[in-house]
Chain A
Amino acid sequence: MSSATETAALELRREHEATEKTVFGFWVYLMTDCVLFASLFAVYAVIHGNTYGGPSGKDIFKLPYVLIETFALLASSFTCGLAMLSMQRHAKKQVLFWLGVTFLLGVSFLCLELNEFHHLVADGNSWRQSGFLSSYFTLVGTHGLHITFGLIWMAIMAGYVWKRGLTDTVRKRLMLLSLFWHFLDVIWIFIFTIVYLYGSLGL
């Protein structure tokens, strides 16, 4: 092998290893974030019954509405995957398109959630009223905060894709973003089930 090809191959391996290392590190961080959510779930499990005379989940959750929210997020997780497939094929315009769709679906999810929160607070059911409401707002709100940060990140990444194209660094960061976005949908599965579905059953 000529020296030039040797150096190129070495360079490739280095990039590959650096990417793997970063992706793994981000994965570990996501696992710690799971423990963060688990703590919030534990709190919710313990004090969701403490309604202090106020409403319980059954009284305030509107399942059809939440179902729409859920599908929005689920769809966005799917379109994020489509963005990654486009990235794999080095199709820059398609990446931007699917990122855009994902972003819009994510924003819809967030708007629906903020609307839900707004109505609860306006009706006098804020986090100040009971242990149940405190833990509800915090658990769902923390997820919403993660979504917000994900959307900011997504917008920035779209900017990078547009300005710099699908460089190695941009692709690596897109991989991290997609992991983050999928992870948020995974967490939502449990929020949907344990908070909303269980809540509506009066559990």
Chain B
Amino acid sequence: MSQKPLVSEHDEQHLSYGKYTGGFLASVALTFCAYWVATHVGGDRNVLAGILALLAVTQFIVQMVLFLHIGEERGPRWKLAAAAFMLGVVLILVVGSIWIMNNLNYRMTPQQIIRYMQSQDNL
């Protein structure tokens, strides 16, 4: 096999110092923010959970785009399609499982039923 370096437009295209450095700094900042929110900010836990989730998703997108180069594919964007399919399955699996397993308590002990029913508006 040839030992000479391949000149390929493919690799040159999306690797750049800017992207990696930017991604790294952004991730550090987001991580630190999340740490700060979790340790130094008070208030309603659910709101905090929401903020942390947002920070996580932001960092996820940052790293997917800048480290994993998603969305930079030319031609039919199968990597993006595969990632989108994965996200769909993951959301259905995780949200669905939490919903189902939580709901199974609906017919459990009376105390749990009462607590559950109280937490639901329409029951």
Contact = CB atoms under 8 A, between A and B. Distances in A.
Interface of A: 11-12, 15-16, 19-20, 24, 27-28, 31-32, 34-35, 38-39, 41-42, 45-46, 63, 67, 70-71, 74-75, 77-78, 81-82, 84-85, 88, 90, 165-169, 171, 175, 179, 182-183, 185-186, 189-190, 192-194, 197-198, 200-203
A190 B56 contact: yes
A17 B5 CA distance: 16
Contacts of A74: 24, 27-28, 31
A185 B67 contact: yes
B108 interface: no
A135 B8 CA distance: 45
B67 to A, nearest CB: 4
Contacts of B68: 179, 182-183, 186
A88 to B, nearest CB: 5
A12 B6 contact: yes
Interface string B46-79: 0011001101100110011001100000000011
B32 to A, nearest CB: 8
Given A46-B98, A78-B24, A182-B68, A67 B1 contact: no
Contacts of B89: 35, 38
B93 A35 contact: yes
B122 interface: no
Given A28-B82, A202-B45, A34 B38 contact: no
Q: Which residue, of B6, B21, B55, B98, has the highest number of chain A Cβ atoms within 10 A?
A: B6
B117 to A, nearest CB: 19
A46 B97 CA distance: 8
- In the A-B complex, list the 6 residue pairs whose CB atoms are closest, starting with the nearest: A81-B20, A78-B24, A38-B90, A31-B86, A193-B56, A182-B67
A88 B5 CA distance: 10
Which of B35, B37, B49 has the most CB atoms of chain A within a 10 A radius of its CB? B35
Given A168-B1, A182-B68, A201 B49 contact: yes
Contact of A165 (B3, B37, B49, B60): B3
17 contacts: A15-B6, A16-B10, A20-B10, A34-B90, A38-B93, A39-B93, A63-B39, A71-B28, A77-B67, A78-B20, A81-B67, A88-B12, A171-B6, A189-B59, A189-B60, A197-B35, A198-B52
